[in-house]
Structure 1
Amino acid sequence: MKDEGGRARGLRFGQKLAFGTPEVGLALAFVAINSWLLYFLVNVAGLSPLLAGIAFLAGRLFDAVLDPLVGRWSDRMRHTVGRIPAIRWALVPTALAYVSIWVLPALVEPTVLKFALATGGFMLFSFFYTLVSIPRIALLPDLVPDYDARTGQVSINMIFIFVSVLVAIAITPALVIGFTGVEELAATPAFGWIATAALFAVLGILSYLPFLFAIPDAQPSPAPPVRPLGADVRSLFATPGYGRVIAIFGTSVLATLIVQSMVPFYLESWVGLPGSAQAPILGGIFLLSILCFPAWASIGKRMGKHRAMILGCAIYCLFLALVPFVPRASMTPFLIGICALSGIGISAINLFPWAMLPDAVDMDAQTHGAPREGLVYAVFIFTQKMAGSLAVFWNAIMLAIFDHQAGRAVQAEGTLAAFVWMTGPIPLAILVVTILLCIGYPITRAMQARARAGTTARNVLA
């Protein structure tokens, strides 16, 4: 897996799959929380939308603050014990902490205690989730050095992610209803949600086993200089292209997660699809997305990653523009058509920022003299979590302002209008900003190759 200069050549196909399998566990947890935790806390645990939103935001803020700390710590551990030992230690606690998020709020009745347990459970999970996620993804630039091969590896990762998204978003209602026997999702007891969380936690542990057995740890390299965390983070934004890719990623996550966390409300109350009928339409979106990843990887190879991102955003924007015109008549050909647009566009939006980031790692190593993969990825993931938290909190505020009635599928017309705006026009405006940020993105294939060659030469001399 190395050439004569000591540089990683890449992963064999089996190792590529093994590197991608942990995305199952990570995505099941991350997407289920982003898509269903607000719904669970409001409709099942009985918190008000405002308190549920504050609990979610507090947990995500704590989670986000951990990311740069763990990322920098992982960079330092690379030069002593490696990145992987922390993952082995934290894997089972991560699974147990995930289940606690759904158990703790259901154990008590007082609102203050329910709120405190929801927040505390989320924070506990966030700590362990960070320990198993950042050290792993920080290995990618070193294991896959080629510009286009990175898009291929990220597309494999994304296939695993979207299979998990399919389960977390589309299959979750069916699992909860199946465990409880209650047809109306808003009226299901907590047991169904806890059993579903336990199933996801077991799948998460199993998903990491191929990675732990098949993937080598990081190769030795010059240690990054020791300086204050704030100075370390600020220095990242002196790297050409890094600030731009962070902004591209942050705005795209904000737009898509506003849609994602509002979709259950929109489908149930505006379109008239009960929870048991949502699985086919949501499942179709994500199956189409999975099928599109190889095509988008090929398009990115021909057009460049940032241009392919623009095309994917444009397709998703068309879907968002059509959301207000969906008939309120349950399943219709119009709904199926715009969901197809959603699946095609969301595939590119999820693929290309992650494929662009390893190139920024190379630019950072060239600019600052030492690789800092953990910190580079940590700030990226920090952005993801902050954007996701803002999206869910914003939707929670909208639910409170527009008088959402918990536990009911039928809502007032003003509430329904808010569902439409939050699922269509508002994320559309945000995604237009993403497109503008992609124009003129500076890190090209040739620039990445020069940066990688310079870093490799420096490592060989060291």
Structure 2
Amino acid sequence: MSGSLPRGVRLGYGAGSVATGAFGTVPGLMLLPYLTDSLGIGALAAGAIVFLPKAWDVVLNPVAGRISDRTVDPRGPRRPWLLRAGLTLAVAFALLFAAPGLGSRGAEAAWVLVCFLACATAYAFFQVPYVAMPAELTSSYAERTRLMTWRVAILALTILVAGASAPLIRDAVGGRDGYRVMGAAMALVIALGVVAAYAGTRRAPVGAVEPGPGSLRDQLRIVAGARDFRLLLATFVVQALATGCMLAGVDYLAGDVLGRDGAASILFACFVGPALLLTPAWSALGARVGKKRGYLLASVVLAAGALLAATARVAPFGVVVAAVALVGVGYAGAQVFPLAMLPDAAAVDARRTGSSRVGVYTGVWTAGETLGLALGPGVFALVLALGGYRSSTDGGAVQPDGALDAITVGFSVLPAVLVVASLVWLARYSLTEQEVDHP
């Protein structure tokens, strides 16, 4: 488990980010507009539909972690769940945007709610084992950073492909059929990522898992007492909330504030392009200055870009593009470092106690991330409602100035404030490379 991993294993593990990236991006980008501008559901009700299934994941993720910790299978405790849950997720996702004409907004809203709940359940049993794997693949502090670099690079590429192509597919077909075709295409992307991750990790050097004793409640209590993990989690959750707000706002900013055809895809390309190029640079910087300092710097860059985007109503389009690109630069680092720091905290606990709680750690982690990303669209929907946003069934409603201001603030100022606030917790994180590699 020590030393460098084969490149094939790094690539195979990273391929799982095709599935997590597509599911993490497309609903956050497309589901709220689908509800408000295609099904005609009010902003507050739409926000609740987006939030509630993800809130269910907050409860389910630690359970999924506990179950994967205790799974006994010749393929290892994690890999079987990648295939089972991942393919279920792909099917449920295809159904999410495929609601037939049911004759009432209430029935169509219920369809979306049930399908999204199925997606969230399947995703919990894919994501938690997937995130748990690095702590078992290698015991090296530096190798985990390299592994996360591959994962985040693939994640960034997936966000670029899925986030930029989903609006284009929808707009090319048009109407509700556009959403149906887009949903089927993204389901195929998810399935490809699932199969690639399952096949690519078949020769991964996974150590034996020794689940910690006691009930799930006992395990959660111990994990909650891990100070550095708790601080890292709080930072990441608040930043996930900020990211969720920005994802939910892209389509509204592009269509209502900027009023430019294809602007949503352009903004996504500007967001992910720098991330693709600079993810290795963030990794190299972390090797020089440490993961914590790298994470702090990445967060500051992310917040600066978000704040610059507040000029969207008055600045030239190029300024908005530059702001989103700056967000992308910071976002790349703000993914590499915490995902590399998480297995450090879990491994230190396992070495200290002699038993592995990595599944519970990652279950709590993904529950927190899910909560943040779910709250993002919910908070953005609340901001829309406060601004007087007008829902419709054809996306053609003319929005008042208050709604345009709400879209801009929800996309820029609010996320910037949240990222800066998250640094209160990150500044107190203290786990070092010496503690991880040299106990």
Q: TM-score under structure 2 normalisation?
A: 0.93
Distance (whole Å) between structure 1 residues aligned to residue 415 and residue 290 of structure 2: 25
CA contact (8 A) 2:61 2:124 kept: yes
CA contact (8 A) 1:79 1:220 kept: no
Distance (whole Å) between structure 2 residues aligned to residue 282 and residue 90 of structure 1: 28
| 1:315 equivalent in structure 2 | 301
Letter in 2 for 1:354: L
Distance (whole Å) between structure 2 residues aligned to residue 397 and residue 382 of structure 1: 22
| 1:242 equivalent in structure 2 | 229
Letter in 1 for 2:84: W
TM-aligned CA deviation for residue 321 of structure 1: 2.2
| 1:189 equivalent in structure 2 | 175
In the TM superposition, 1:330-341 aligns within 5 A as 332-341=317-326
TM-aligned CA deviation for residue 342 of structure 1: 1.5
| 2:396 equivalent in structure 1 | 408
CA contact (8 A) 2:212 2:219 kept: no
After the TM superposition, list the runs of 4 or more consecutive aligned residues in structure 1 that deviate by more than 3 angstroms: 7-10, 78-81, 326-329
In the TM superposition, 1:158-173 aligns within 5 A as 158-173=152-167
TM-aligned CA deviation for residue 78 of structure 1: 4.8
Distance (whole Å) between structure 1 residues aligned to residue 52 and residue 220 of structure 2: 22
| 1:264 equivalent in structure 2 | 251
- Residue 41 of structure 2: SS of its match in structure 1? coil
Change (3 A) 1:419 1:148: same
Match of 2:274 among 280, 288, 310: 288
CA contact (8 A) 1:97 1:124 kept: yes
Is 2:149 aligned against 1:155?
yes
Is 2:369 aligned against 1:374?
no
Change (3 A) 1:109 1:395: farther
Moved more, 120-129 or 203-212: 203-212
Q: Max radius of gyration: which structure?
A: 1
- Residue 145 of structure 1: SS of its match in structure 2? coil
Is 2:336 aligned against 1:355?
no
TM-aligned CA deviation for residue 344 of structure 1: 1.1
Distance (whole Å) between structure 2 residues aligned to residue 8 and residue 147 of structure 1: 9
TM-aligned CA deviation for residue 140 of structure 1: 1.0
Distance (whole Å) between structure 1 residues aligned to residue 45 and residue 252 of structure 2: 18
What is the number of residues matched between the two proteins?
433
Q: Please list the CA deviations of residues 255-313 of structure 1 after superposition, one character each: whole Å capped at 9, or x if unmatched.
A: 12212211221222222223x23323321221111101000000111111111111111
* Superposed CA RMSD: 1.9
Report sequence identity in percent. 23
Moved more, 333-342 or 190-199: 333-342
Change (3 A) 1:32 1:73: same
- Residue 97 of structure 2: SS of its match in structure 1? helix
Letter in 2 for 1:30: G
Distance (whole Å) between structure 2 residues aligned to residue 140 and residue 303 of structure 1: 22
Match of 2:92 among 83, 97, 100: 97
Is 2:54 aligned against 1:75?
no
TM-aligned CA deviation for residue 8 of structure 1: 4.2
Distance (whole Å) between structure 2 residues aligned to residue 389 and residue 300 of structure 1: 29
CA contact (8 A) 1:269 1:409 kept: no
TM-aligned CA deviation for residue 35 of structure 1: 1.5
Letter in 1 for 2:95: S
Change (3 A) 1:251 1:78: farther
| 2:285 equivalent in structure 1 | 299
Distance (whole Å) between structure 2 residues aligned to residue 282 and residue 362 of structure 1: 35
Is 2:6 aligned against 1:12?
yes
Distance (whole Å) between structure 1 residues aligned to residue 223 and residue 407 of structure 2: 38
Match of 1:427 among 403, 407, 415: 415
Distance (whole Å) between structure 2 residues aligned to residue 93 and residue 318 of structure 1: 39
CA contact (8 A) 1:251 1:430 kept: yes
Q: TM-score under structure 1 normalisation?
A: 0.89
TM-aligned CA deviation for residue 10 of structure 1: 4.0
Change (3 A) 1:333 1:448: same
Q: Please list the CA deviations of residues 181-200 of structure 1 after superposition, one character each: whole Å capped at 9, or x if unmatched.
A: xxxxxxx4111111111111
Q: Please list the CA deviations of residues 333-384 of structure 1 after superposition, one character each: whole Å capped at 9, or x if unmatched.
A: 3223323312211111122111110101112213433111111111100001
Letter in 2 for 1:256: T
TM-aligned CA deviation for residue 445 of structure 1: 0.3
| 2:241 equivalent in structure 1 | 254
- Residue 307 of structure 2: SS of its match in structure 1? helix
Distance (whole Å) between structure 2 residues aligned to residue 243 and residue 37 of structure 1: 31
Is 2:121 aligned against 1:127?
yes
Change (3 A) 1:207 1:79: closer
TM-aligned CA deviation for residue 175 of structure 1: 1.3
Q: Please list the CA deviations of residues 315-335 of structure 1 after superposition, one character each: whole Å capped at 9, or x if unmatched.
A: 122212222223547x63322
CA contact (8 A) 1:25 1:200 kept: no
CA contact (8 A) 2:308 2:320 kept: no
Distance (whole Å) between structure 2 residues aligned to residue 55 and residue 367 of structure 1: 42
- Residue 107 of structure 1: SS of its match in structure 2? coil
Distance (whole Å) between structure 2 residues aligned to residue 339 and residue 91 of structure 1: 31
Distance (whole Å) between structure 1 residues aligned to residue 196 and residue 416 of structure 2: 39
Is 2:86 aligned against 1:86?
no
Letter in 1 for 2:176: A
CA contact (8 A) 1:91 1:128 kept: yes
Distance (whole Å) between structure 1 residues aligned to residue 227 and residue 436 of structure 2: 11
Distance (whole Å) between structure 1 residues aligned to residue 101 and residue 2 of structure 2: 50
Match of 1:144 among 121, 138, 160: 138
